[in-house]
Structure 1
Amino acid sequence: MTPRLTLSVLPLTFAVCRFAPDAPLPPLGGTLFSVTRTADELSLVCEDTLIPAGARAEGGWVALKLHGPFEFSLTGILAAVLNPLKGAGVGIFAISTFDTDYVLVKRERLDAALDALRAAGHTLLDAGVQDAAELE
């Protein structure tokens, strides 16, 4: 059985940034900031207004917060969100934390994403954003 989840839209736009793998960590800040370092790259997600100098960045992402916390033993949490988005042709960038997950979608696809999630039976809380027009 596919879980029915509660999500909310963070009222900001974000950027996904890339640096060389040995780059120093940029200053932390903002409401959502995620850093991942691998042998191939240093990636970060930050608010569009906080893109560090020298970053290769793609902005215009909107974050959907899955309301957790979720036990590590649970299965199908991300799939319950990603499958409806896939069906609607909405690309994503996912971030997982200890307690929950965030799914980023491009701003121009937000309305399609919200429609698909509602149709799949998920609950979208009013966090000040109900559609892409409210982010302008």
Structure 2
Amino acid sequence: METPSLTEIIKNSTVVVHPGRYVYLQGKEFEIKNHFFISQDQDETTIVTEEENISQTTFSKEVKWFKLFEIKVSVPFLGVGLLAAITKAVADKGLNILVVSTFSKDYILVREKTYDTVISCLKDIGFPVIKKD
């Protein structure tokens, strides 16, 4: 089977925009059950969570507000350059994103005020974008 081109992979993948607002926290203590993402290394714990979970979380630093985009790749692990294409399109507009990857999906977090511009960037490079309610 021939590996599809990056253009084909993008066209056959989907970006789902999740509702709500997210915050990026440097955590002190946490309950795993309510958070979107927790990453821990030897120096710190980082938590990405929805707005309504902030009061239940002990943290030392916060960065607000983000929108969450889920990248559903049509052929995971074969999309060489996929994240580079996304980050380049966004960077070319002078914007920054945070990238989070799990085993089967990639997510990007974008500043709430840049939401519309990022949607345009993703559509411009060929992604179908679905807004989840």
The percent identity for this pair of structures is 21
Determine the C-alpha separation between the residues in 2 that align with 1:116 and 1:73: 22
1:16 paired residue among 9, 24, 30: 24
Instruction: Name 1:133's counterpart in structure 2.
Output: none
Instruction: Name 2:59's counterpart in structure 1.
Output: 54
Larger helix percent: 2
Determine the C-alpha separation between the residues in 1 that align with 2:74 and 2:124: 23
- Structure 1: state its 5+ residue gaps: 129-136
- Return the letter of the residue paired with 1:104: L
Q: Does 1:39 align with 2:42?
A: yes
Determine the C-alpha separation between the residues in 2 that align with 1:69 and 1:53: 37
Instruction: Name 1:134's counterpart in structure 2.
Output: none
2:15 paired residue among 7, 12, 22: 7
* Backbone CA RMSD of aligned residues: 1.9
Instruction: Name 2:72's counterpart in structure 1.
Output: 67
Give TM-score scaled by structure 1 length.
0.79
Instruction: Name 2:32's counterpart in structure 1.
Output: 28
Give TM-score scaled by structure 2 length.
0.81
- Return the letter of the residue paired with 2:66: W
Determine the C-alpha separation between the residues in 2 that align with 1:95 and 1:29: 18
Instruction: Name 1:106's counterpart in structure 2.
Output: 111
* 3-state SS, counterpart of residue 109 of structure 1: helix
Structure 1 consecutive aligned stretches of length 4 or more whose deviation exceeds 4 Å: none
Determine the C-alpha separation between the residues in 2 that align with 1:80 and 1:89: 14
Determine the C-alpha separation between the residues in 1 that align with 2:59 and 2:83: 32
Moved more, 41-50 or 71-80: 71-80
Deviation readout 1:13-55 (Å, 9 max, x if unpaired): 1111113xxx44x11234x621111122111111122121334
Shift of 1:73: 4.8
- Contact 2:18/2:67 (<8 A) preserved: yes
- Return the letter of the residue paired with 1:40: D
